Structure 1
Amino acid sequence: MSTLILVTAPPSTIFAWHALGLAQALKQKSSPFTVFFYQDGVYVANALNWVQNDQRNLTHEWQALEITLPVCVSAALQRGITDQDNAERHQLNTSNLAAQFKLVGLGDLIEAFGQAERIIQF
């Protein structure tokens, strides 16, 4: 059964960590799943997020899964997160999208909805 994990919760909440936990469990069981970061969930893709040394870093934990990490481009730009292409297109000084995250359009989310047998939103 394929699962879409829709992450809309900001990284500062327990829900964002629960989304990661589900992804880790599904990967460990080799169950098919996809992830999509939307609304405040896009903050996890900000490479400039600072985390104290004695705490787990949610961004790094997602990167460690070594899966595709699509992020809604509109939601990201609205929250100050951009890749190099969009930084140049919108005359921004720099990019700050974390490695392994990819800015995509809502068409990718619609496609994921169509392919998923279950959708879980955090």
Structure 2
Amino acid sequence: MHTLILITAAPTTRLAYHAFQLACAMKSKQQSFEVFFYQDAVSIANAQLWRAEDELNLTQAWQTLNVPLNVCVSAALSRGVSDEENAKRHHLAHDNLAEQYTLTGLGTLAEAIKSADHLLQF
């Protein structure tokens, strides 16, 4: 059984936190899953996203799982998140995509949906 965790919730919401907790549980049980960040959730991939010390930094938390972290490139760019290649292409001052996150297109999401037995959206 393979699960796609589709995260659309902003990083400041409980839903985004619950998505991470589910991924942690699935990883600990060695269950097959993949992650795709879309809509407001792409802000999680922003390396400049700051959180207070007493709050979970989801950007860093997801990095600890060592799983592919796919991020919708269009949604990311429209929310100010860019990798080096797109920063150059679109004449942006700098890139800010956090390490281990990958900008990808909706084709990746379509393939993930097609291959998943379950889709959970947060």
TM more than 0.5: yes
- AA matched with 1:40: D
Residue 80 of structure 1 corresponds to which residue in structure 2?
Answer: 80
Q: SS state of the match for residue 62, structure 2?
A: helix
Matched, 1:24 2:28: no
CA–CA distance in structure 1, aligned partners of residues 12 and 105 of structure 2: 24
Residue 114 of structure 1 corresponds to which residue in structure 2?
Answer: 114
CA–CA distance in structure 1, aligned partners of residues 55 and 113 of structure 2: 33
Residue 68 of structure 1 corresponds to which residue in structure 2?
Answer: 68
Gap runs ≥5 in structure 1 = none
- AA matched with 2:80: G
TM-score, normalising length: structure 1: 0.98
Task: List per-residue Cα deviations over 1:32-70 (Å, max 9, x = no partner).
Answer: 000000000101001111111222211111000011000
How many residue pairs end up in the alignment?
Answer: 122
CA–CA distance in structure 1, aligned partners of residues 10 and 53 of structure 2: 20
CA–CA distance in structure 2, aligned partners of residues 30 and 48 of structure 1: 31
Aligned sequence identity (%) = 54
Which stretches of structure 1, 4 residues or longer, exceed 4 Å deviation after superposition?
none
Deviation at 1:101, TM superposition (A): 0.4
CA–CA distance in structure 1, aligned partners of residues 100 and 54 of structure 2: 24
TM-score, normalising length: structure 2: 0.98
- AA matched with 2:117: E
Deviation at 1:87, TM superposition (A): 0.2
- RMSD of Structure 2 on Structure 1 (CA): 0.6
Deviation at 1:75, TM superposition (A): 0.2
